[in-house]
Copies of this chain bind each other. A is one copy, B any other.
Amino acid sequence: MAKTTTLKEFESVFPKLVEDLLDHAKQYNLADEFVQWYKASLNANTIGGKCNRGMSVPDSVSLLLEAPLSEEQYFEAATLGWMTELLQAFFLVSDDIMDSSITRRGAPCWYRQPHVGMIAINDAFMLESSIYTLLKKYFRKHPAYVDLLELFHEVSYQTELGQLCDLITAPEDKIDLDNFSMSKYQFIVIYKTAYYSFYLPVALALYHQNIATPKNLKQAEKILIPLGEYFQIQDDYLDNFGLPEHIGKIGTDIMDNKCSWLVNKALEIATPEQRKILEDNYGRKDKTKEAAVKKLYDELKLEQIYKEYEETRVGEIKKMIAEVDESEGLKKSVFESFLAKIYKRSK
């Protein structure tokens, strides 16, 4: 039987990887002062999240094998998982600078920590480089080494495309709802989030098991990208309709001028008068204006529209999962496990 990893178990692998990365830096005779800086950046920016992406690598490997992982298998799969977390760290450190964000995971963003500032940009680069250091150390002999390198390159590039579109479409300081559209929304969500969060972990698991055939990769992409899109739409829904005590924060998408599913759906169905309400109130750091938008969302019955969307989408995804061809080693259970974690979550 497949066994699900725990955050504790997954996190227990990280100190060894940090040690590897610091040993590697020391080989260049990097003075201790700078080794300590790198260590602080690795720990501050990679640890502390929920690690859903990272943990889904060993979980997927275990589901593909239909067996619990040996210690060595777990270490390898978790190492690949930590690379997805390093990739995310690279993007979050820089995203926080680009978005002028204040906090991340309950602490000041890395670039806002004492003495860091814009050095955070170089720290982000080093987080990215850490992926390739670890790939070389642990997977250079793996038959899929080149594919793993190319996978990380491609997913990084896809995420950058999504970021580019997001940054130009929804700058926090320039509100222009004409910029928004459901098609841009879809592009942003798929590229900025779905590839690295959903497709990458499963592709890594397939490569790890040497069953990343073109057919298996295509099937995984076909299901995981819509699943990732659904996940983000749900995230946008919860930002407004979720309970703060469940989601662990008070949503700020309206005030932050976010190109959210809700505002794009509202723009699609609003009358000219309702659109005017959005134009006058969206994206302002003002509780009254935010309340006006929330009221409009209720009038437009966005909660119900979301729930209908969710049921339809989940039905489609379940159908796709049912149709998965397992003949080349892919397993439906991999996708069922992802879906079970997402469907009707409240946090």
| Selected contact of A121 from candidates B94, B150, B153, CB within 8 Å | B94
Q: Is the CB of A121 within 8 A of B145?
A: no
Q: Is A184 an interface residue (CB 8 A)?
A: yes
Known: A28-B158, A31-B184. A150 touches B136 (CB 8 A): yes
Q: Is the CB of A161 within 8 A of B34?
A: yes
Interface residue tally on A, bucketed by range:
35 or more
Of residues 83 through 116 on chain A, the ones whose CB sits less than 8 Å from some CB of chain B are 94, 97-98, 100
Bound Cα distance A153, B158 (Å)? 19
Known: A119-B98, A167-B119. A133 touches B160 (CB 8 A): no
Bound Cα distance A123, B124 (Å)? 14
| Selected contact of A164 from candidates B38, B157, B161, B167, CB within 8 Å | B38
Shortest CB distance A218–B (Å)? 15
Residues on B with C-beta less than 8 A from A34 are 161, 164-165, 168
Shortest CB distance A285–B (Å)? 19
Q: Is the CB of A30 within 8 A of B161?
A: yes
Residues on B with C-beta less than 8 A from A342 are none
Q: Is the CB of B164 within 8 A of A119?
A: yes
A33-B168, A94-B125, A98-B121 given; 7 more Cβ-contact pairs under 8 Å:
A25-B161, A34-B161, A97-B118, A98-B119, A119-B168, A125-B163, A129-B157
